[in-house]
Structure 1
């Protein structure tokens, strides 16, 4: 069987861990990697998702996928992105090929996902307008109410395309449950492929605590910083992009490296003694958490979403609002 992986982003210009997970899966399957010629040029300005999330791109991507399916005699189209999904479904219709989509976040259900952070089972339009918009604008400072309402309405058509797939794959049971409760059909669970542990071991300093990923309210970074104040004898290392929802004041025992490359991030795990993930939202399944496990690091994680799949006898699940539990 010949399977075509498609994504609107690549690991050369990633926007999340999904791009690395897709590449890792392709490499494990010894898949042929195709890179468009323009990718060899010097990186330019990153495009807004609006360039992908519109009918013209849907038709353009459908034509390109259709050509590859016909030329390569593809048997199945496997989508690993969001905005390329409509084009993939159209190509599937034109070629009579099944389409499978792997989902790793909540964009098909809610453009902001604050509803799930607040423990809502479903994302309703009334809750979005009545609660999420005001909180998002207060915390993140971006987007008018009108543009956010349009984003919510546009999300409904993405979900419609998702339900046209022959199979939807979620990366954790917790994520699958949320998708089923929000009306998505034919949902199954397949975990992200864990990184290979071959040749990896940790000889790090036991008093170094590592956090890799976005620094934001949703990721609970503020609570980690509060825990750091309770542990002056430990060094905390943070690496990742700083989100507008967080205005951190780093204690003296904290070191912030900023946004770094994936290769640089992999070099940090052996230097740490503990890895921490403190997401407030129901984390689908943390790529950084899987990488930490591959290095043998114990994990302190919030008891939200797919984090429960990462921690058994190798760490501790905590309340993301309680710095004392993290410090314990």
Structure 2
């Protein structure tokens, strides 16, 4: 069936172009075969270099953010608690994809167990939804801090922050939970070859020799529900924030106040723009080669975890100062 990709699930709709000659007569295979990046097999080792570098930066950057926030008492505030949640989410999301990808590139380890494939698929989509929810929570924090600053400390108490974080995690868990269960119930009797570097939901269920309408419509509904509601909430929050900023009496006050949410705005753009660009490529890029689709599906998941700690490290003064102190061994 023809599907329309949508933002968080743009990777769901990678075209399947394997020939029918690859078809076999098996049901519920014990393993799937991940091709990596079709058409660029000869360059896999070279392609692995930037991806490995990205993973190293992701690990180092996000663990550094977590360490700084944990050890710096002045950063024990709602904004930085949400940033810790974002860092953990980025670490899990990257680790769900990159180790297997690098094993394909370096060791030609293309096989992945059926259950492991479904587990990877679940973690990727679950933590993508969680990350979007955390960005909403951070937008709410900025809204309260700027539009109602006198109530910020009483509104966003530690228990409230914990409940918001738990709600975002439970939302991701519950919304994505049907994906692996639906994928497991389909019979697979065509091929076990996935033209990608990871097990993506629709790329997996499209291999089934059954009517997958339930999986397809549910996947699209989740993507629509998550993306539209989250982007709408963020847009409303920042509309109110901008109105409050423009009512400030001086230009310096406006710039200073806007600077407090500048890093969050950059993170939002870094998360949603690649998704939107990939969605447009999938929707209108009919002549785009398969390897470009696969590269885009990897980039839009792997870029935000790399640049999020860089953005917050560069734009947040408290984190930047503490980071310099770590490198220069100065006392606080």
- TM-score after normalising by structure 1: 0.25
Richer in strand (by share)? 1
Richer in helix (by share)? 2
The structure with the larger Rg is 2
- TM-score after normalising by structure 2: 0.24
